[in-house]
Chains A and B, each alone.
Chain A
Amino acid sequence: MRTSQGDPEPLDHEPPPDLRRSQEQRLLTAWATPKGWRYWSEVNNTHVGLWYTATAFLFFLFGGVLALLIRIQLARPGNDFLSAETYNQVFTVHGSVMMFLFAIPIFEAIAVIFLPQMLGARDLPFPRLSAFGYWCFLIGGLFLCGSIFFDAAPRGGWFMYPPLTSQYQPGIGADIWLLGFSFIEIAAIAAAVELIIGTLQCRPPGMRINLIPLYCWYVLVAAAMVLFAFPPLIAGSMLMEIERAFQWPFFNPAGGGDPLLWQHLFWLFGHPEVYIIFLPSVALIAMIVPTCARRPIVGYGWIVLAAVGTGFLSFGLWVHHMFTTGLPGISIGLFSAASQAVAIPTGVQIFCFIATLAAGRSVRSVPMLFTFGGLATFVAGGLTGVMVALAPFDFQAHDTYFVVGHLHYVLIGGALFPIFAGIYYFYPLVNGKKLSDTLGRIAFWITFTGFNVTFLPMHLTGLLGMPRRIFTYPAGLGFDTWNLVSSIGAFGIAAGVAIIVWDVLRPKRKEAQSERNPWGAGTLEWLQEMPSKPWGVRSIPEIDSRYPLWDQPNFVRDVDQGRFYLPDADEQKRETIVTTAIDAQPVQVLQLPGPSFVTLCAALTIGGFFIFGTYHQWGLAVMSAIAAVGVICYWLWTGTAIIPSRAEKDVGLGLKLPLYVSGSTSVGWWAIFITMLADLTALLSLVFGYFFYWTIHENFPPDPTPGPGVFWPCLGAALALGGWALTVLARRWNRQARAAPFYSALVAGAACAVGGGAALIAGPWFTGLDPKTHVYPAIVWLLMIWTALHIGIGVIMQFYCLARRLAGRMTPACDMDITNVALYWHFVAITVIIAVAVVAGFPLVK
């Protein structure tokens, strides 16, 4: 290990005991967890992450029970344990719960708990955003799961293909899926923003980009993938819900729509999602393997290649789910090639893990057992994946149980077993006790055996021709025995999982506290004291190595004695250090918001919009949305961009850092930027829809074009761009302390923006486009409403900034609000230009 000259060293003397005690007392006060019912207002990552993880596991168990019902029904031919109708609900909810309520949230949940600890940060940069995400997840998840008890659950499969779901399934099942999951997906995007900024800007000083734990690379990639994978599904869900509720024919061929558009949008999300699930799970392996091999990982750079490369390539695979839809052979060939290429980075990381274990002195442990089981299973699933990536084989295996077997090998091997490994590995960090080695081994062998007994035969039943999604089958087709074997195996998995659950929940009061860093790991999360303290890390260290606990002398002592940065909370506020993205140079002390119920209120009111919308109670839904806007404004007003009482703070080791930063150095600016990238992706998904319709129709846009014409959209664009320009000027004039021009620009900008939004709506309105008659007016209306809605939100932001300045909560020096709003308006300007170019420009050049 070589370190940079001039790197700060920890204090060379131990701080006096009295000082240390008083520092610890202040830290405890700042990070104290609320008592009683107020506990649920907590926003600290440790608590929120634990709720998140526990809730995701409850949903996992619920999905598992549904899986057992499926296997009971299929255990013998002609079974009537479940009716066809109930079976459809059960398998739809099983798939949806496992994907949306377990696999993705568990990644975010685990990251919320451990990411700050791996980075030596006291918390993530937006603790309330984490809590908000959790409450959205809980409300949306309960809504979806509860529906099955009222015989109202979705029943179109977890992929919800139209026209089955858009035209042939009345009732609210499909609406619950579409709106419930859109709600949860918004929360997932919020968590992704949190994790990206946490990884890039909340690292400890000195933890350069070549030193960050591999887990963080994986989380960074997976969170970035969420930003680009979820918006197409949100856009698709919006199209289908509008079709179901208002009969705009996006997927109905009678009105010019096409069900294949849904498949494109769904799988643009659905395939990357497999890797969004896989990468953070394999990230756990990347932390466990070096510890158990007692050496640094072999091929750190290669694993970074694997994570980033897989993240990219996974977006080029979606069409391999659509090989049998009649696409031209060349399109199939392109995506088949990409599907094979993704095996390269996937394999690279597995070779790195094997090399690390081979080069080290491997220690036998339960986490390693689950790691080996997971890798072996995933490799098997990956190989069958390469088989179905070959189009001729896929034509034969498509929609058979072969695919069911394949996907469970990938997901259980690639995600579930590594997560179980992670549970056994990280459990001491959660409650200070280790789980039982004996129970862990028993659980592993039962689960692993049960898994293979369940899913290996499915490849055979599939090759014998058994289709997916059937609620029963006739005897004598060769399916009987293999289905019975699969059903027996399923109960084996359940027994193994039950042992793990028991091991986690069994009382452990009489057991000794785990020693500190029980596995002898080298990364920062194992700094944690046993039992843990609420502050996370006693002082934020200067990092010189990928494995500081192994390499940096006296490291734990120096951290514990407060010899590094920020050993105190002199204002008794929650604080952490913000650093630069490449070299982790400290740039700010970020004062974090404390416990609050505002996050729960925001989730309830936004959830109200989606839940009332499900029942088509649009009046209540709109009222709930208005209430949500009010709650969010209150949240922002009271909890963000607070002007500190002093400009700088001494964080120790001779370093003073500002308490308030705006612009591209601030975490808030990046949060807006990243969120708006996701938002722009959703717009591009809608534009993709527009051009998709162009390719399938001889006459799209219709000739002569019935609307919206050129005048209204161009007028709307000109006014909206005026609103944008005035907002940018307002930012400048605020910095120059020119109050009158600032206020004038904002008021004029808002007026322009309102006029612009109205003009955009006026286009289709005055040209009489009826969105129910054909998909052309429908998509034009939607693009205009989408754009106008963004302008409307921008107007609220303009008035918010105006009020902040009037109230003295924003000044020329402390201008985070207007800086971030100007950034938002840059994206609005891009949205306006794209939308108007499409609806007004394309008909002219067609």
Chain B
Amino acid sequence: MKSLSEKNESLWLMIVSPALWAAHLMLSYITAAVWCAKFAGPDGTLRPVRWAITAYTALALIGIGMNGWSGLCRHRFGSGRLPHDSDTPEDRRRFLGFATLLLSGLSAISVLFGAIVVFYFEDCR
């Protein structure tokens, strides 16, 4: 029962994946903006930026995957099933895990949405 203590839970874990999405978006945007403004010029190549965004995407997806996996494990804790609406520490844990899992899924999709730009843009125009 100790592992179900409130002290072992955190609302912050829920938002790790969306935060990784935000970091991915901002890093991609800043990298592209700084590269085009300070290094490549208005018509310069985006090749390094595309590689950088690919790397950011891989890192973000790994992080989101890990967070999502931990959410899945908590969601499957014990024998409970959705909607996780009982007044028990088990269901509270499952609910937070489920929310983490869903937010990880949304974040992964959003990261992939953003990463599509590497296929379409070759220069800074």
Query: Which residues from chain A sit less than 8 Å from chain B, CB to CB?
Result: 1-4, 7, 206, 208-211, 296, 299-302, 304-305, 308-309, 312-313, 315-316, 319, 328-331, 333-335, 337-338, 340-341, 344-345, 543-546, 580-583, 585, 694-696
Contacts A312-B15, A583-B89 known; A331 to B32 CB distance under 8 Å? yes
Expressed in whole angstroms, the minimum distance between the Cβ of B60 and any Cβ of chain A is: 13
In whole Å, how far is B51's beta carbon from the nearest beta carbon of chain A? Answer: 13
Instruction: Judge whether B103 and A308 touch: CB under 8 Å.
Output: yes
Taking a contact as CB atoms under 8 Å apart, the answer to whether A334 and B25 are in contact is yes
What are the residues of chain B within 8 A of A302 when measuring CB–CB? 102
The interface centre, meaning the residue of A3, A300, A302, A582 with most chain B CB atoms within 10 A of its CB, is A582
Interface residues of B in 74-125 (CB under 8 A from A): 82-89, 91-92, 94-96, 98-99, 102-103, 106-107, 109-110, 113-114, 116-117, 120-121, 124-125
Specify the chain A residue showing the minimal Cβ separation from B82: A301
* B121→A330 contact, CB < 8 A: yes
Residues of A within 8 A of B9 (CB): 582
Give CA–CA (A3, B90) in the complex, Å. 11
Closest Cβ–Cβ distance, residue B88 to chain A (whole Å): 5
Are A301 and B102 in contact, with the CB atoms below 8 A? Answer: yes
Contact, CB under 8 Å: A329 / B22: no
Q: A337 contacts B21, CB within 8 Å?
A: no
Q: Confirm or deny: B37 has a beta carbon within 8 angstroms of a beta carbon on chain A.
A: yes
* Bound-state Cα–Cα, A340 to B112, Å: 12
User: Could you list 18 A-B pairs, sorted by A, with CB under 8 Å?
Assistant: A2-B87, A4-B89, A211-B87, A302-B102, A305-B106, A309-B106, A312-B107, A328-B33, A330-B124, A331-B29, A334-B25, A337-B116, A338-B113, A340-B113, A341-B113, A344-B106, A583-B6, A695-B34
Distance in angstroms between the alpha carbons of A581 and B12 in the assembled complex: 12
B18 pairs with A210, CB closer than 8 A: no
Verify if B38 is at the interface (C-beta below 8 Å from A).
yes
Most buried by A among B10, B121, B124: B121
Which B residues lie within 8 Å of A345 (CB)?
106
On chain B, the residues within 8 Å of A344 by CB distance are 106, 109-110
What A residues does B67 contact at CB under 8 A? none
Q: Of A206, A305, A309, A334, which contacts B28 at CB under 8 A?
A: A334
Q: What count of chain B residues pass the 8 Å CB interface test?
A: 51
* CB closest residue in chain B, given A315: B22
Question: Is B117 a contact of A312 with CB atoms below 8 Å?
Answer: no
Asked whether, in the complex, the Cβ of A585 is within 8 Å of the Cβ of B99, the reply is: no
Find chain A residues with CB under 8 A from B58 CB.
none
With contact pairs A330-B124, A334-B25, A334-B117 given, residues A581 and B11 touching in the complex (Cβ less than 8 Å)? yes
Partner of A308, one of B82, B98, B99, B117: B99
Q: Does B36 contact A (CB under 8 A)?
A: yes
Interface of chain B, main secondary structure: helix
Q: Are A206 and B102 in contact (CB under 8 A)?
A: no
Q: Once the chains are docked, how many angstroms separate the CA of A312 from the CA of B14? A: 12
Question: Quick check: is B49 within 8 A (CB to CB) of the other chain?
Answer: yes
Nearest chain-A residue to B84 (Cβ)? A210
By a CB distance below 8 angstroms, the chain A residues around B22 are: 312, 315-316
A301-B95, A582-B92 known; A338 vs B25 contact (CB < 8 Å): yes
Residue in A closest to B114 when the chains form the complex, CB atoms: A337
List chain B residues, Cβ under 8 A from A334.
25, 28-29, 32, 114, 117
Q: Complex formed: what's the CA distance from A302 to B116 in Å?
A: 26
Q: A312 to B18, Cβ gap below 8 A?
A: yes
Residues of B within 8 A of A328 (CB): 32-33, 36, 42, 121, 124-125
The listed residue (A210, A315, A694, A695) touching B85 by CB distance below 8 A is A210
Interchain nearest-CB distance for A94 vs B (Å): 33
Flag if B103 contacts A582 (CB, 8 Å).
Answer: no
In the complex, are the beta carbons of A341 and B49 less than 8 A apart? Answer: no
What's the nearest-Cβ distance from chain A to residue B63, in Å? Answer: 15
In the complex, which of the residues B14, B87, B117 contacts A330, with contact meaning CB atoms closer than 8 Å? B117
How far is it, in angstroms, between the C-alpha of A340 and the C-alpha of B29 when the chains are bound? 17
Give the contacting residue for B110; candidates A331, A341, A585; CB below 8 A: A341
B6–chain A nearest beta-carbon distance, Å: 4
Q: A308-B15, A330-B49, A331-B33 are in contact. Are A2 and B116 (CB under 8 A)?
A: no
> Given the complex of chains A and B, what is the CA–CA distance between A3 and B25 in angstroms?
42
Complex CA gap A582/B32 in Å reads 40
Cα of A308 to Cα of B16 in the assembled complex, Å: 12
Q: Give every chain B residue within 8 A of A206 (Cβ-Cβ).
A: 87
The residue of chain B having its C-beta at the shortest distance from the C-beta of A311 within the complex is B18
| A337-B106 contact in complex given A210-B95, A583-B89, C-beta closer than 8 Å | no
**A156 CB to nearest chain B CB (Å):** 27
Q: Is the CB of A546 within 8 A of B32?
A: no
Most buried by B among A206, A208, A296, A299: A208
Given A209-B95, A211-B85, also A695-B33 (CB < 8 A): yes
A300: which B residues are within 8 A, CB to CB?
Answer: 83, 85
Measured CA separation A777–B104 after assembly (Å): 44
Tell me the complex Cα distance, A531–B98, Å: 41
- Tell me the nearest residue of chain B to A210, going by C-beta: B95
Known contacts A3-B86, A543-B87; A210/B36 CB under 8 A = no
- Chain B contacts of A1 at CB under 8 A? 85-87
Complex Cα distance, B89 from A4, in Å, reads 8
Name which residue of chain A comes closest to B7, CB basis. Answer: A582
